[in-house]
Structure 1
Amino acid sequence: MTFSTNAPARTLRGIGYDAGVIYDGDFDSRPVWEADAVRADLRAIRRRLGCDAVLVMATDIDRLLETARIACEEGLAVWIQPRLFDARCGEIAWHLAEVATRAEELRRAVDRHHREDRPVHIVEFGTCAYAGAADNSSQASDVLREVDGGLEVPETLVRDEQGQADYLDEMFDIFDQVGVDGTFVWGFSEPRLTRSDEPRQDLDRASYGIVAPLPEGTWQPKAAFGAVARRHGAAP
């Protein structure tokens, strides 16, 4: 489901944005959602990365659509992905119907479907920032493990931000060669997977995010951030 204020539908340079997904019953990928912080993220996506589109995913409908509204205000085309895990079929159907109904209020009569010449978009491609992650990109985060109610990564995991950036560059080259209409890198950040000087707590190494979340709530660009900005033609 997509809606937009002004971005073109055929030249999407996008990225995924985690607004808070509940996994495995109680794991919240974004425990704290603040409108100002979200707006700052989306403004960076538009202005510093050069993206013209964002794929917003969340479990809570209010949070999903409020993030989408802010993204529209920042000049981004918006794709929304409601995510509801471990629910009955009836609950999932209601959830999707509610999102669809309320999303129409944001669409503002913009219809960018191309029925005769359907565009091809690539969504959720990327890898993590440790050595060897690109060899198993779709499951690279499986190195995360639960220990005493928290998350850890192996102490021997070697941070490799350039490897993450190189993987994205390789994928962009392939997509350019085959002529896809748009791409969505996964992703901007994974807020629960913070950076740390303590090796086992340096969860960002197992994150697909192109920025590293810090415990105090800010973030730092990784090498992949620069790669995406360069490929999207963002101003230095």
Structure 2
Amino acid sequence: MEKTTGINRARFLAGAAGIGAAALLSAGRAEATARKPGLTRHGVVYTVGEGETPGTAWSAVRMRRDIRAIRDDLHADTVDVTGDGVERLTATAAEAAERGLHVWLQPTLGDVPPRDILEHLAETGRFAERLRRQGASVEFSVGCEFWLFVPGILPGATVMERIENLQKGNVDWAGMQRRLADFTARAAGLGRSVFHGRLSYASAPEIDQVDWGLFDVVGVDYYSYHREPAAHVRELKQHLRWGKPLAITESGTCTYVGAPEAGGMGWDIVDYDKDPPEIKGNVVRSERTQARHLTGLLDVFESMGLYAAMAFEFLTADAPHRPDDPRHDLDMASYGIAKAIKDRPDDPRSDWHWEPKEAFQALAARYRGACQRQ
């Protein structure tokens, strides 16, 4: 597990998904305005962080190669640069802008005092504004799922404690929503003060009740599963009632049969109490399942004419693929569209490389076609 200031998003996606929070928070009905089919922006989430081992520590050299691959091989036009560490965030955003990509910059520092999170936000936002003034195509998101990452909104000192309290129902929902609304408003105001382009926030719709009047773009981390595309359309329409562009700030699934049905809890197939961690049960690896789910969602987003969609995520370096050892093939629990492969699987200092999964290839074909039509 990553340090608490660099939380591994694939471990904590939509934490309330497993407790049916959607039944507790009614979003109401929404009427969608007419939109032309097609997305304006096709992207991928690129997470920066310290890394869990020396071998997977953040590297500027690797990052630059990855950004080139996102542009030239994945054919994405947008990269969602997220994570913590102002230097990592800004270096990655600058590289993406230099390569001509649209930058969606989103700091996600967690499990530190709120004032530190706001300071981290402000510093990242100032850099985003400098990029914008230099002519880069950039939007700024003030953060992601504050109820999960910011201490004091939900009970619990860490992300895992807050998830546990959600699952046990140890939550004062009215108080939580007041605290969440207060922090979101503070973050939005601070974001406006340092960044003068389009502002957004990545929400978990099962929990967040966001005043989207504070933002220019509605952002949704979307991990729902429905058998029929029409059900996705019905669910997403509620987010169009604000009359603002809707960006799918995250969507994806893990790499095994049945992962889409698990939604945001797909990562929960690993027993981290074991050393080394191992896959629980008889999970069957399936890159095809991941690819079909992502392209199926892309069909929905395109049909609705949404503003942007970012696949989660490019790579989870700390969940390496072990093709000859299914019990320890942690990539099955990864949302990455590329798989990390170590030169020496049992050595934490081992060098490694990534290879594209079927989902990478499927999205690349779709993104290439979209670029040609634009």
Could you say which TM-score interval applies, normalised by the shorter chain? 0.7 to 0.9
Shift of 1:57: 1.1
- Correspondence for 1:133 among 259, 267, 271: 259
Cα distance in 2 for partners of 1:109, 1:40 equals 23
Structure 1 match to 2:330:
203
1:95 aligns with 2:95: no
- Correspondence for 2:339 among 193, 198, 212: 212
SS at match of 2:316: coil
Shift of 1:13: 0.9
Contact 1:189–1:212 (CA under 8 A) maintained in structure 2: yes
SS at match of 1:49: coil
Please, which runs of 5 or more residues in structure 1 have no aligned partner?
1-9
- Correspondence for 2:303 among 169, 174, 177: 177
Change (3 A) 1:47 1:203: same
Per-residue CA deviations over 1:107-161 (Å, capped at 9, x if unaligned) read 2354764969732211110000101001112110111221356532226211010
Between structure 1 and structure 2, the one with the greater Rg is 2
1:187 aligns with 2:212: no
Contact 1:21–1:83 (CA under 8 A) maintained in structure 2: no
SS at match of 1:123: strand
Contact 1:190–1:213 (CA under 8 A) maintained in structure 2: yes
Contact 1:133–1:140 (CA under 8 A) maintained in structure 2: yes
Shift of 1:100: 1.5
Aligned residue runs from structure 1 range 1-236, under 5 A = 11-20=40-49, 31-110=56-135, 113=198, 118-148=244-274, 150-154=276-280, 156-196=282-322, 197-215=324-342, 216-233=351-368
Cα distance in 1 for partners of 2:270, 2:122 equals 34
Aligned length: 222
**Which protein has the bigger helix share?**
2
SS at match of 2:91: helix
Cα distance in 2 for partners of 1:200, 1:139 equals 19
Change (3 A) 1:129 1:148: closer
Cα distance in 2 for partners of 1:172, 1:102 equals 31
**Which protein has the bigger strand share?**
1
Cα distance in 2 for partners of 1:149, 1:68 equals 36
Contact 1:21–1:58 (CA under 8 A) maintained in structure 2: no
* Larger relative contact order, structure 1 or 2 (CA cutoff 8 Å, min sep 6): 1
* TM-score (normalizing by structure 2): 0.55
Contact 2:132–2:197 (CA under 8 A) maintained in structure 1: no
Please, which runs of 5 or more residues in structure 2 have no aligned partner?
1-38, 136-195, 200-215, 218-242, 343-350
* TM-score (normalizing by structure 1): 0.85
Cα distance in 2 for partners of 1:49, 1:226 equals 7
Contact 2:44–2:76 (CA under 8 A) maintained in structure 1: yes
Letter in 1 for 2:361: G
Per-residue CA deviations over 1:151-203 (Å, capped at 9, x if unaligned) read 32226211010000000111011111211121101111111010112222211
Is the deviation greater in 49-58 or in 99-108? Answer: 99-108
Structure 2 match to 1:6:
none
Cα distance in 2 for partners of 1:34, 1:189 equals 14
